C-alpha cells in the first residue's frame, strides 16, 4: 500500500495533502525492529505493509488501524452530536485524524455507538465500522449496559423489584425491565439494561416515583470503563476489549 494512501486512510487529509506531508519530511515510520532508528520517507508512493505499521506525523505517534474502535470517557456537559445545539460536541475531544477518516457516503470520521445525554457521563464507544454500530445498536443482540444512578429519594426494595419486574413508559405499553438492579446504597442504584430507549433510565426511575440526579455508564458488555481513563480522555480498543464487548 502506498504511504500516501496509508495516511489518507487514517484521516490525515486528502491524498494530495498526505503526499505533501511525506515530501516535506513530516512523516517517519517505525521499523519492524524497534532497536533501529525511525525511517523517514520523502517519496509518497513508497510501498509499505499497512498492517501493524506505526508512524509519526509531525511528531505525533499513530498506529495504523484498518477500522477505528475507541472508548471515550464522556464528561458531563457534552453532546454526542456532530452539530451540537447547546453544549460542546464530544468529537472535539478527539484528534482531527479520527474526525476526518474517510468513509463511503456523506459520513466522515468515527461515530458514537449510541448516545448519552449531555449530563450523562461514562463509557462511550466510537468507530467507523458501520456493521459494528448496527450490531451494537440492534435490540436483537441485547448487549448489556451498566449504569450507576444517583437518585433523589431513598431507594427501597419495592422500587428495585418494580424495575426488575418491568415498568410501563408513557410511549410504549410493553413493560421495560431491568436485566439487573441493585441498590448499592440509599441513593445509589446499579442498573443493567439490554435496550436503549430515549431517556430510558430517567423515565424508568420516574415510573417508580423517584428521580435521577446523576447518571454514569460504567460498563458495556464485559468492558468496564478503566479507572485510569479520565473524563475527556480516549484510547484505542484492543482485541481483548472487542471480544469482551461481544461477550
Are residue 236 and residue 215 in the same domain, yes or no? no
Mention every residue, 6+ apart, whose C-beta is less than 8 A from residue 57: 7, 12, 21, 26, 27
**What pLDDT, on the 0 to 100 scale, is given for residue 246?**
76
Give the range of the structural domain holding residue 23, as residue numbers without chain letter: 3-63
Tally the domains of the chain. 3
Give the pTM: 0.93
Are residue 15 and residue 82 in the same domain, yes or no? no
- Looking up cell 413493560, which residue turns up? 175
Are residue 171 and residue 238 in the same domain, yes or no? no
- Looking up cell 439494561, which residue turns up? 193
Are residue 168 and residue 107 in the same domain, yes or no? no
pLDDT, tens only, 149-192: 999 999 999 999 999 999 998 877 889 999 999 999 999 999 99
Distance CA 132, CA 114 (A): 11
Q: How far is CA 71 from the centre of its chain?
A: 4
Are residue 132 and residue 25 in the same domain, yes or no? no
Residues of the chain with pLDDT under 70: 34-35, 105-106, 247
Are residue 81 and residue 177 in the same domain, yes or no? no
**What pLDDT, on the 0 to 100 scale, is given for residue 142?**
83
Instruction: Give one DSSP letter per residue of the chain, joined into a string.
Output: -BHHHHHHHTTSS-HHHHHHHHHTT-EEE--SSTTSPPEE---TT-B---TT-EEEETTEEEE--SS-EEEEEEPSS-BSSSS-SSS-BGGGGS-HHHHH---SSS--S-EESS---TT-EEEEEEES-HHHHHHHH-TTT---EEEEEEESSPP-HHHHHHHHH-EEETTEEEEE--SEEEEEETTEEEEEESS--TTHHHHHHHHTT--EEEEEEEEETTEEPPTT--TT-EEEPPHHHHHHHH-
Assign residue 156 the CATH number of its domain.
3.30.70.1560
**Among 13, 38, 63, where does a domain finish?**
63
Q: How far is CA 244 from the centre of its chain?
A: 14
- Report, as residue numbers or ranges, the catalytic residues: 117
**What pLDDT, on the 0 to 100 scale, is given for residue 106?**
66
Distance CA 164, CA 180 (A): 7
Are residue 50 and residue 161 in the same domain, yes or no? no
**What pLDDT, on the 0 to 100 scale, is given for residue 78?**
97
Are residue 231 and residue 124 in the same domain, yes or no? yes
**What pLDDT, on the 0 to 100 scale, is given for residue 36?**
78
Assign residue 120 the CATH number of its domain.
3.30.70.580
**What pLDDT, on the 0 to 100 scale, is given for residue 210?**
97
Amino acid at each position: 500500500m502506498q504511504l500516501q494512501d496509508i495516511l489518507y486512510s487514517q484521516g490525515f487529509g486528502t491524498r494530495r495533502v498526505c503526499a505533501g506531508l511525506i515530501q516535506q519530511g513530516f512523516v517517519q515510520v517505525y521499523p519492524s525492529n524497534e532497536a533501529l532508528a525511525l525511517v523517514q520517507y520523502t517519496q509518497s508512493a513508497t510501498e509499505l505493509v499497512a498492517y501493524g505499521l506505526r508512524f509519526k506525523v509531525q511528531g505525533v505517534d499513530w498506529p495504523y488501524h484498518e477500522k477505528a474502535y475507541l472508548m471515550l470517557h464522556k464528561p458531563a456537559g457534552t453532546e454526542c452530536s456532530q452539530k451540537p445545539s447547546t453544549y460542546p460536541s464530544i468529537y472535539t475531544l478527539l484528534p482531527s485524524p479520527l474526525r476526518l477518516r474517510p468513509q463511503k457516503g456523506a459520513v466522515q470520521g468515527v461515530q458514537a455507538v449510541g448516545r448519552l445525554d449531555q449530563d450523562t457521563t461514562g463509557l462511550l464507544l466510537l468507530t467507523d465500522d458501520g456493521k459494528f454500530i448496527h450490531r451494537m445498536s440492534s435490540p436483537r443482540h441485547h448487549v448489556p449496559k451498566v449504569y450507576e444512578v444517583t437518585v433523589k429519594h431513598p431507594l427501597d426494595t419495592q422500587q428495585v423489584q418494580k424495575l426488575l419486574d418491568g415498568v410501563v413508559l408513557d410511549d410504549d405499553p410493553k413493560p421495560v425491565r431491568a436485566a439487573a438492579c441493585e441498590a448499592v446504597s440509599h441513593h445509589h442504584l446499579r442498573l443493567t439494561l439490554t435496550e436503549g430507549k430515549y431517556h430510558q433510565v430517567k423515565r424508568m426511575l420516574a415510573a417508580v416515583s423517584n428521580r435521577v440526579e446523576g447518571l454514569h455508564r460504567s460498563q458495556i458488555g464485559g468492558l468496564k470503563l478503566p479507572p485510569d481513563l479520565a473524563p475527556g480522555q480516549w484510547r484505542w480498543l484492543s482485541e481483548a476489549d472487542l471480544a469482551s464487548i461481544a461477550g
